[in-house]
Structure 1
Amino acid sequence: METSTWTLLLHSPPKKFRQIQKRKHGLKGEEDYPVAVGNDNRLKLALGSGISAGGITILIICFIIRQRHKRKYASTFLSRNTSSDPSSQPGLETTGTYFGIPIFPYSELEEATYHFVPDREIGDGGFGTVYHGQLRDGREVAVKRLYENNYRRVEQFMNEVQILTRLRHRNLVSLYGCTSRHSRELLLVYEFIPNGTVADHLHGNRADSGLLTWPIRLSIAIETASALCYLHASDVVHRDVKTKNILLDNSFCVKVADFGLSRLFPTDVTHVSTAPQGTPGYVDPEYHLCHQLTDKSDVYSFGVVLIELISSLPAVDFSRLKHEINLSNYAINKIQKCAFHELIDPHLGFNSDLAVNRMTTLVAELAFRCLQPDKEMRPSMDEVLEILKEIESNRHELENMDAAADSVGSSMREPPPPSPDCDEVGLLKSVQLMPSPDSTTAQWASRSTTPSASA
């Protein structure tokens, strides 16, 4: 076929092409030109097939681009600081910093934890397992190993790194470093806190030691409140305050940990995920309605911690009556009835020590305020800390009164009557409670997205 004919075939409509061919070859009708008709059909089929194949190809390309974008986000979570991350260069595994903290080679952390053997496990949370390890320089560390290196885990990883690197407080756990973006796994390296958690000492494997006397418990409450005040002043909501996240060193000083759920506020996004956040038994009741966790949500959770400290009971216990499975409900019922003797751990000396009796009652009343279902009725963490410090400052005066009563006679050592504020405290007697869910399978109010939380 001549070049001009090919040009007509590619650029001319089939009908016009047939007319040109008829004039050239002296043909009259369609029956005299079967070859042209066949070419026309084949042309239509070719064009249709080309369009379909092109559409599929475009869809495949779009899908590949989208997947590459996700993988790129997950694999370059340290890209904001690649200039100071020499590990981004081929052939180098480590050195450099990310947000001012060192980047550790995966091989060193693997060696430090004896290849993450189960015997080295010291904790297990919602986002990863924590292992005890020792670095080559001799430092003992806690290495958090995220479960999966996917988009969600990278987000939690980045969140914790970015928050902890900007915070410095004696009652917050210190972050020593993390792995690089080329690491086989995402690892966070913390200072090692050797004395377990408050939960361990209250109702866990260290509960029988009896080391948590009332003065130590009050000190734990004050130091935890101090850490939360600092977070809130730094525009950070912890969002998972619980006794398992309050670590203790050998001197029983507090180190608040686990910032995987923490958020800076106010945030620059308009919606948040409605997947249940926090821990059952500690979650703000208003979360059922608005799916927002704010600084007042931390206050509610801290109220549960206060009740644990004075009662030695767990936040959730299915052996209790149905309406008392949540410790918050159990405590509210007892405080409303002024039945403090049924709530406070007798081993603390509630029935024999005037000072302990009065202080634990005051802490119970403070916890009651923190557990109000309406967040506007709860105090701020600053106010909570101020009240706790006042209770502690009066401890010595109360202890002196107790000693004076002891010198006079046992009759003077009878516990004082209920707090004069007891009737005032019963604010919830006419309020329908909306307790924190007692299990992760509890029915949540809604699955739709809602405006994000702000201070």
Structure 2
Amino acid sequence: METESRTIEFEERNRVLVAVKKLCPRTAEITLKWQNEVAALRRVGGPDCISMLFDSDFGDLSIILRRETVRSLDSWITVHTRTCCLSVEESDVLWSQMADALAHVHAQDIIHDDVNPSNIMWDPETCKAVLIDFGAARYISPNCVVSFDPSGTPPYVPPEFLDKKKGVAGDVWALGATMLFVKRYIALPDGQWFLPNVFDQGQDRLELLEWFVEIQEVRRRVSGEDLLLIHALEVDLEKRISSSSLATKLRE
């Protein structure tokens, strides 16, 4: 797998602030990644809670997006404890908005495949969250099969990752793990194990398994109005709540 390099520049086009994302080097594999990301953004475009595509340019493999002028969730922390500093009310709004975002994405037969705090922008002035970076997004085939590769952000991959499975349920798990941080059940995770190595009997696999155990221990402490987190972090794929059901229940 080739190493992809990304640059992001901010500029104004037609009086609109945009972010220009460029992929390089220009190889067949990187070009295909660019095409997939553009196609996914076009397909999911619409809701304000999802990164908006303005344009793209095959000439320099650039993607022009609405500029999100606010900070990502991983920067909304109390430095010495690395815990999230959003209020309870803000965390509830973000939880609902991101469930809506995933429900919409999944309805378009797309999985995001990299839901984590660095890919969620938060505006405290408007109480608005935006899901960004569809660089890892992939299509769900008509028979519900999703291609697998060992990509992702380590603390947010689901247990089925070890069985080389990916799907919409993995996005729900990743959002659940993100919300454990947002709702201050855990500090911002810093697991840096190398995902391609977790399929071998080594330290990376051991650390990932220990992390899954820790998540389940935290899950057992969840109570009160956060009970939907229990369903989002269900190990059994058949029992894990869907994004559409999660979004509906959070609006009730």
If the length of structure 1 is used for normalisation, what is the TM-score? 0.46
* Equivalent residue for 2:11, pick from 131, 134, 140: 134
What amino acid sits opposite 1:265 in the alignment?
I
The Cα of 1:369 is off from its aligned counterpart by 2.1
| Residue 130 of structure 1: how far off its partner (Å) | 4.6
Indicate which of 330, 337, 353 corresponds to 2:214: 330
Q: Tell me which residue corresponds to 1:260.
A: 135
Counterpart in the other structure of 1:303: 176
User: Partners in 2 of 1:234 and 1:225 — Cα distance?
Assistant: 14
Matched, 1:379 2:241: yes
Give the conservation status (yes or no) of the 8 Å contact 2:219–2:233.
no
- 1:171 maps to which residue? 49
For the residue of structure 2 that corresponds to 1:194, the secondary structure is: coil
Unaligned runs of 5+ in 1: 1-125, 341-359, 391-455
CA contact (8 A) 1:129 1:145 kept: yes
Per the TM alignment, residue 166 of structure 1 is displaced from its structure 2 partner at its CA by 2.5
1:171 maps to a residue whose letter is: C
Cα deviation for residue 323 of structure 1 reads 8.1
Percent identity over the alignment is 21
- Choose the corresponding residue for 2:99, options 219, 222, 225: 225
Amino acid at match of 2:63: L
AA aligned to 2:43 is R
Classify 1:333/1:258 alpha carbon distance in 2 versus 1 (closer, same or farther; 3 Å). Answer: same
Deviation at residue 162 of structure 1 after TM alignment: 1.0
Kindly tell me: are residues 260 and 334 of structure 1, through their superposed partners in 2, closer, same or farther at Cα, counting changes over 3 Å?
A: closer
State the secondary structure of the residue aligned to 2:96.
Answer: helix
Higher RCO (CA < 8 A, seq sep 6+) = 2
- Structure 1 residue aligned with 2:26: 149
Q: CA deviation at 1:376?
A: 0.8
1:243 corresponds in structure 2 to 117
Q: Which runs of 5+ in 2 are unaligned?
A: 193-206
Residue 47 (structure 1) aligns with: none
Q: Which amino acid aligns with 1:158?
A: Q
The answer (yes or no) to whether the contact 2:53–2:65 under 8 Å persists in 1 is yes
Kept in 2: contact 1:127–1:153 (CA 8 A): yes
Q: CA deviation at 1:368?
A: 2.3
Other structure's SS at 1:286 match: helix
**Aligned equivalents of 1:203 and 1:384: distance in 2?**
28
Q: Which is higher, the Rg of structure 1 or of structure 2?
A: 1
Measure, in 2, the Cα distance between the counterparts of 1:144 and 1:323.
31
Q: Where do 4+ consecutive residues of structure 1 move more than 4 Å?
A: 207-210, 267-271, 322-325
TM-score, normalising length from structure 2?
0.80
Q: State how many pairs are aligned.
A: 232
Once the two structures are superposed, residues 43-72 of structure 1 have per-residue CA deviations (whole angstroms, 9 ceiling, x without a partner) of xxxxxxxxxxxxxxxxxxxxxxxxxxxxxx
CA distance in 1 between counterparts of 2:126 and 2:247 reads 21
Deviations 1:325-347 (Å, cap 9, x if unpaired)? 63x533421343x4x5xxxxxxx
Aligned to 2:202: none
Once the two structures are superposed, what CA deviation does each residue of 1:114-162 show, in whole Å capped at 9, x if it has no partner? xxxxxxxxxxxx8543534223533211121213211121111101111
Matches within 5 A, 1:302-321: 302-311=175-184, 313-317=187-191
- For 1:238, the aligned partner's letter is H
Separation in 2 of the partners of 1:191 and 1:225?
21
1:323–1:330 contact (8 Å) kept in structure 2? no
Aligned to 1:101: none
How far does residue 233 in structure 1 lie from its aligned partner after superposition? 1.4
Q: Which residue of 2 aligns with 1:33?
A: none
**Contact kept in structure 2, 1:141 and 1:191, CA below 8 Å:** yes
Question: In structure 2, do the counterparts of structure 1 residues 316 and 371 end up closer, same or farther at CA, with 3 Å as the change threshold?
Answer: farther
Q: Would the alpha carbon gap of residues 127 and 140 (structure 1) be closer, same or farther in structure 2, given more than 3 Å must change?
A: farther
**RMSD, aligned CA:** 3.0
Q: Which moved more, 1:261-270 or 1:280-289?
A: 261-270
Match of residue 285 from structure 1: 159
SS at match of 1:135: strand
Q: Is the 8 A contact 1:132 1:192 kept in 2?
A: no
CA separation of 1:177/1:202 partners in 2, compared to 1, >3 Å: closer, same or farther? same
Q: Which amino acid aligns with 1:174?
A: M
What's the CA shift for 1:197?
Answer: 0.7
Deviations 1:11-61 (A, max 9, x none): xxxxxxxxxxxxxxxxxxxxxxxxxxxxxxxxxxxxxxxxxxxxxxxxxxx
Q: Which residue number in structure 2 is paired with residue 188 of structure 1?
A: 63
Hey, what's the Cα distance between the residues in 2 that align with 1:193 and 1:372?
32
Give 3-state SS (helix, strand or coil) of 1:231's partner: helix
Change (3 A) 1:361 1:153: farther
Per-residue deviation at 1:316? 3.4
